Structure 1
Amino acid sequence: MHIERMVIFSPSYDEKIYGDFNIDLRELNKNMDVMAKANLRTANYLDGCQVAPFDELNILAHKSLHDDLQSVKQGENVSTVLKREDVIKKIDYKGEGMYELLSKRIKNADGEPEVFTYNSFPQAFRNQVFYILEDVLEPYSTYNENLWDIFEEKFCREKGLKGMGYGKLQNGYGKSSIEKYFKDCDDIDFLDAIDYFFYLIDKKIRTIKPEYQYDYDADGAINAAIAELNYRFKQNNLGYEFANSQIITIDSTFCIKQL
């Protein structure tokens, strides 16, 4: 068989070539979003996780379809799918080792624990800190997931407590337990709590959006919370400030000393 064809090249750049590709650019972002969600659903299925597109978690796969098929073949078909809140709790709050609480970081020139010399924290200030914490955590606290419970559990582990307010830890009581702890604890324990809680807020949840709140500005909410905390310190004439993801002291000459 013999086939002939003719190709013609035009040296002129004046002629414009038009084409109708039937693409609506207004739908481009929507289509890309649909594809991204489809890819995430596939990844969730293969990895055994349940996360949403807005979580922005850098999850490394620890499973494979081959291993799952092998387990089924060998009669070990046990579901290991993690719920969204379990994925967030496991990845974002247990990945960087232990945290040194404020009371453990404070040392004097002799290396001994430093004594707090600033005024005690009035109940009004404690309430204000709780309101700030509420602004940040409440959007994340739904029927399916509750950051109040996670924060209470993490602090109790670091502090060696059974619970913060009502004996042992109980699901769904994190908020009321933290509120009671803020009301009743001594000054050192209170500083430990706000130092640790705001460390978690500043370092751990900036990249996590509340469920179904795709446009939520986590960075903005966290920055506003830290700014208000520092304002309340000054308003109540307390010599502390939250900077570089931890509580620091401010001496009488307003020079900052890192703890």
Structure 2
Amino acid sequence: MIYELFSTRRRKADKSGATDVYQYSSASVKLRVQIQQILHDAIGPQYELSPYAVSSPAHNPDAWKSIHNVLCREIGRHRLIDKHYDVEMEGVLNYIGSADTDGFIDAVEVCCRTIDIVIRNWNVHVRREKGIKQDPAAALEEINYRMRQDGFGYSYMDGQIIRVDSEYLHDEVVKPALKLLNGPGFQGAQEEFLRAHRHYRAGEYPQSITEAAKSFESVLKAVCDQKKWRYEKGARASDLLKRIRQEGLWPEFLDASFDQLLATLNSGLPKVRNEQGAHGQGASIRKIPNYLAAYALHLAAAKIRLIVEAAQS
């Protein structure tokens, strides 16, 4: 079977060099160690057994042999590392710790596919017999979380590891918004938007939503300041949007279509912020799901791009 590795696909892709909140060139030592630990728990250990052993400990040699063989064949080597190792698990985990970035991603991807396609289908009793300690879905979620937390711009989904900027919304909305915020007058908004992404990568979703909303409001104020349009001190996003429309930032023939857009702007991110991020959570601890924080970030980025490009045109 031919397995097209990440590094092979990467060489085929032509990625832009726009400003981004993630980096793609280097996996930190901390991230490599974290992923080694997750894979050990999610795939299970592997031991070298004595030919005289009466019983076998809980381990998963077949999975590690399969992963090792796929990587060796696709890379074109008999062994993953020059250092001696007795079992395939050692070779794979050591390769994850020492390979270049492409090799690191290749190995993590093959391991994730094994967890996702093979181990996920085993019942809890089989997993226990294989020495597996971490649930497959939880392991894959944690791997994505650790990469995001580290600012390493990759994610495992649908059987592959992809660059975050391969996702349509990130490529078409977030990166252009960051590029626009690099311009003069938007330093405060840029800092808030980057803070929103840092909170998102750390799993601090209420803070992420709040910072995204602040960034959006800062952009509105910056445009008003640049245009010398007066607004009340302490004006909220809804007030600023009304002020900008009064000044005719958009052509009159687009007013009808912007009625719906303005309704979305007034009820979208500011509402998310007010209901989920900016007020107390009461007696019980409120959990903000990942998808809601991602929605807030993408919505903020789309609005920022719209407002700034309209102001510049």
Larger radius of gyration: 1
| Length-normalised TM-score, structure 1 | 0.50
| Length-normalised TM-score, structure 2 | 0.42
